[in-house]
Structure 1
Amino acid sequence: MRIVSLLASATEMIAALGCLDQLVGRSHECDYPHEVLQLPLVSNVQIDVNATSEQIDAQIKQIAHTKDAVQGNALRALSIYVIDTDLLQTLQPDIIFTQTQCEVCAVSERDVIQALQQVVGIQPRIVSLAPYRLSDVWEDLIRVGEALDRKEQAQQLVNDYQQRLNSLAQMTAMLRTKPRVAVLEWLDPLMVAGNWTPELINVAGGEAIFGRVGEHSPWLTWEELVTANPNVLVLSPCGFSLERTMQDIPLLQRHPAWQELQAVQQGRVYAIDGIYYLNRSGPRLVESAELLARALWGERLTINVDESAWREIA
């Protein structure tokens, strides 16, 4: 089977199922495990990802606004992502993995369908994942396993991931006081993490004061953030590495309300690598919960985490 993955989390699932040898093409966001970096890029992004958070947000909103104003084939030209249809023709995939959860976060099913209209001689199966909560992520892993004839292995992986989360939840349940936690998924303007993140916060022993399980991440005003006054603030912008997130910390620190936050005053502000962990709906959501637990409880919990994936903000 020849596989093209246009979703980073699907690529990680494919790897976990032992099918990397069947992967022939990837998206620009598929960067783990590192072996996939040698594969050809089937998609790329059409915005300036090196711009400021505010400028990136403005670019995306402009594309979305223009999409609403046009009809028909013009929609394809206005996508945030572009698919290399000539390369698809060459790769001849039997199956393409994509998603329907968010047209901003990754190549969408609509992008793929429109691209395939320009490709002759192939009719690959399209498997679209749609994760909104942790149970959806595990169901998606089963679907990937079924598509790759690895259903039993996928079920075993799901069992293992759920057991790790249950074990962590049992550890944190023994700690008396639940800190009130806000996870920011974008910094300028402010957006708080929804979907599966409130579940991860709960497993880590915290109380999510923003965002609803299974719902898209909502925008937030500074006034709302100050009023809620979280005990712990976690910065994990969507699509940003830890290093890229650190570049944008001054955007928050310059705001006049920054010093009013209890989390800031008590030195409980942390950055977590968003592109690899909290934002990516794949197997490493388990490690994301463990990273959150480390941020919330420090050495009070005995857990092994990737220390390079998080940082305390002075």
Structure 2
Amino acid sequence: MRMMRIVSMLPSATDIIAELDLLDSLVGISEDCNWPPEVAGKPIVARTRIDASGLTSAQIDQLVNDSKSESHSLYAVDAGLMSELKPDLVITQDLCEVCAVSSGDLTTACPIGVEVFSMNPRSFDDVVESVIALADKLGVHERGVAVADAMRAKVDAVRGAVAGRRRPRVFVAEWVDPPYGSGHWLPEMVEAAGGVNVLSKPGEYSFATTWQAVLAEKPDVIVLAACGFNLQQSLERTRDLRLPVRTIVVDGDAHFSRPAPRIADGIRQLAHLIHGDVVADPGLPYAELSLEKVGTPR
């Protein structure tokens, strides 16, 4: 039986494909697909139009907003390479035009007759179910169920460990300048980890706010989980940020903003950070920023 040829425009789908042990079927990826390390040699079919390497968080936010207001795509899809790769299935999303290639970006780039599969989870349960849905699409239902069960088991263990404890108020920022309140599954991650999520609601989109508004909610902990940034990239953009609240920088790209199996590990990390005496450190990278003792940041 011929192996299915898959192009993943979606980092979370690439994560899931790896967990399903199907990386050999993956013939093309987007530039943002960076895990596991084995995907590094795969042909890159889509690249972002913005080089964020030398930009501040505020500059990136402005460029993204300008592109959205002018209806310009943030991604360029290589139609020629797509044709050469001859995929049977192209995986994309329509949840966030900023986070990854959307189906609209593929209108003129996909070879005729190629199936496009869009993944759009909005909640933690949706993320778990999306693992099974993709596994079904790829003909490996049992593997998908096993991965989904492992995710649920990790989270259930955390819920059990923090049950009955005082719940600190937690603000998770999906961006730093301006701060963005977390959306979709992230508020659920805080709740599962034994915290009270501040400002945002489960299933809704992230939104820009101010640090004054955040601090007015009296959070006990602020977690900076910048969408699309690993820990080092986030630290480079928060070196001057000082808040009068315990502030922790994490790898938002790997364990928070990407709707894939590793968000279960993100929940374990959150729980350790706010209930460290009962939840063991899962070994994920993070850093704490110095406190600002006087004044209110802008």
Name segments (4+ residues, structure 1) moved above 2 Å. 250-253, 301-304
Cα deviations by residue, 1:199-248 (Å, 9 ceiling, x for unpaired): 11111111101211111112212331121120001011111110111111
Aligned to 2:293: none
Aligned to 1:87: 81
Aligned to 2:109: 115
Q: Is the 8 A contact 2:158 2:279 kept in 1?
A: no
- Secondary structure of the structure 2 residue equivalent to 1:213: coil
- Secondary structure of the structure 2 residue equivalent to 1:58: helix
| Pairing of 1:198-217 with structure 2 (within 5 A) | 198-217=187-206
Deviation at 1:124, TM superposition (A): 1.5
1:179 to 168, 191, 216: 168
Aligned residue identity for 1:311: A
Judge which range, 32-41 or 107-116, deviates more: 107-116
Aligned to 2:288: 312
1:234 to 192, 198, 223: 223
Closer/same/farther in 2, CA of residues 64 and 251 from structure 1, 3 Å limit: farther
Does residue 56 (structure 1) correspond to residue 50 (structure 2)? The answer is: no
Distance 1:188 1:5 in 2: 30
1:223 to 190, 212, 216: 212
Aligned residue identity for 1:98: T
Query: How high is the TM-score relative to the length of structure 2?
Result: 0.92
2:280 to 289, 295, 303: 303
Aligned residue identity for 1:165: V
Deviation at 1:49, TM superposition (A): 1.1
Aligned to 1:102: 96
- Secondary structure of the structure 1 residue equivalent to 2:63: helix
Query: How high is the TM-score relative to the length of structure 1?
Result: 0.88
Gaps in structure 2 of 5+ consecutive residues: 291-298
Aligned to 1:191: 180
Deviation at 1:304, TM superposition (A): 4.2
Deviation at 1:123, TM superposition (A): 1.8
Q: Is the 8 A contact 1:11 1:30 kept in 2?
A: yes
Number of positions where the alignment pairs a residue of Structure 1 with one of Structure 2? 286
Closer/same/farther in 2, CA of residues 202 and 161 from structure 1, 3 Å limit: same
Deviation at 1:302, TM superposition (A): 4.2
Distance 2:137 2:95 in 1: 19
Distance 1:252 1:128 in 2: 37
Identical-pair percentage:
35
Does residue 290 (structure 1) correspond to residue 271 (structure 2)? The answer is: no
Gaps in structure 1 of 5+ consecutive residues: 68-77
Deviation at 1:113, TM superposition (A): 2.5
| Pairing of 1:25-174 with structure 2 (within 5 A) | 25-50=28-53, 51-67=55-71, 78-116=72-110, 119=111, 122-174=112-164
Distance 2:97 2:104 in 1: 9
Distance 1:151 1:173 in 2: 33
Task: Point out the structure with the larger helix share.
Answer: 1
Does residue 277 (structure 1) correspond to residue 255 (structure 2)? The answer is: yes
Cα deviations by residue, 1:62-103 (Å, 9 ceiling, x for unpaired): 111112xxxxxxxxxx21000011100100000011111100
- Secondary structure of the structure 1 residue equivalent to 2:98: coil
Q: Is the 8 A contact 1:7 1:106 kept in 2?
A: yes
2:16 to 13, 16, 37: 13
Distance 1:11 1:140 in 2: 13
- Secondary structure of the structure 1 residue equivalent to 2:208: coil
